[in-house]
Amino acid sequence: MTTRYRVARLGAQGDGIADTERGPVFISFTLPGEMVTAAVNKDRGELIAVTEPASNRVEPPCRHFGTCGGCQLQHLAMADYLAWKRDKVVQALKSQALKPAVGQIVPCAPHSRRRVTFALRKVEGGMLLGYNRHLSHEIVDIAECPISVPPIVEALDSLRALARLSCFTSKAFRMTVTATASGLDVALLDSGVLDDAARKAIADFAMAANLARVSVDGEIIVEPKKPQVSMGPAVVNIPPGGFLQAVASAEEAMGQLVLDHLGKAKRVADLFAGSGAFTFRLAQRAEVHAVEGEAAALAALDRAFRFTPSLKRVSTEKRDLFERPLTTKELDRFDAVVFDPPRAGAEFQCRQLAKSGVSKVAAVSCNPLTLARDLATLVAGGYTVTSVTPIDQFLWSSHVEAVALLEKPRKRR
């Protein structure tokens, strides 16, 4: 049934929320203050028309906005969009009774995302490549993407052709594309089992298209050039499909915040270190112990360290910090700690850290709610949150990164 609604506010996922007698109705691509018509099923509304637009509604820069689910907020004026994202961090902190100083959000420019994951499916007459429609498994085929760096957008047709050569499944599969200094690194997942003819076809195609590497389910099919990414002073040969901060300028901003805070620390633990985004910046000043659960990422970090001159000592440890966090005794060997966990946060590690004597901590997170929970644990253990800086690494989405800086008086020995 189509009904008129007045949108009251934005929800955590970027949907407009209209309050009704039956409860809230969530309507995508709407803004507070707008009068809209929508077809409603339970608590979800599909937008039909905006009859009274908000003054801060703007023209979306992408033709696919509203069908493609990659972005939620291209229709909101940039100043209000950034304020909304900053407030997400503020509200998450308040939910844990934390009220530290929250800085202005560090913005993200269009065409700056160097790592994107596409959804794909083989259909009659071709290959769909794009993103899932909002709240759906339907794939929206794209011809442009204003969040991605130009080399990825310019290669969309080539990536479709590569997907056709690699596809041996009727189901949807994924393709992660990373723009590196050596060219595009393409990692396919769940595209099916390759035969020898397909492997040769993929290799020939990659060479002709000047791709740096193609891997399928973690197996390197062809690697004409090692995919290289700069992390501070180091050049890292990243592993296939490995984690990488999505936007280089966001990584640089986060790295500088961490580096400035940890200052003159002589021994630093970098937890959930990945391939070294923080390790190498810190190792210009301090000895760093990098702890990471993924063997391939840790191997890439270690190799880059050995080929980067003028760094302090870097040691590595493969360890699942969810199952076996560093103990308080182990942590007390360090002057400072930085941790950057997945969205689930670092609950068990923070319980150990809260009891430690580490004087400075930098917490990096892509989930304000788990960040707030972890900060509350550290505050209960005697830490003070000196600042929190939101980082808009995920442009026009509902996701926001943040860097929290903490201090604790060092115990006298």
Q: Which residues are annotated as a binding site?
A: 245, 272, 292, 340
3-state secondary structure 154-171: HCHHHHHHHHHHHCCCCC
Specify whether 366 is catalytic.
Answer: yes
b or e along 254-269 (b: 16 or more beta carbons within 10 Å of the residue's beta carbon)?
bbebbbebbeebebbb
Total count of residues recorded for the chain: 413
Enumerate residues 6+ apart whose C-beta is below 8 A from 263.
Answer: 360
Cβ proximity of 392 and 106 under 8 Å: yes
**Is the alpha carbon torsion for 316, 319, 322, 328 positive or negative?**
negative
The one catalytic residue among 62, 108, 167, 366: 366
Q: What is the gyration radius of the CA atoms in the chain, in angstroms?
A: 23
Task: At 87, give phi and psi (nearest 5°).
Answer: -65, -30
- Annotated binding-site residue numbers for S-adenosyl-L-methionine: 245, 272, 292, 340
Residue with tokens 């994951």: 117
b or e along 221-249 (b: 16 or more beta carbons within 10 Å of the residue's beta carbon)?
bbbeebbbbebbebbbbbbbbbbbbbbbb
- What are the tokens at 181? 């200094």
Widest Cα–Cα separation across the chain: 72
The residues annotated as belonging to the active site are: 366
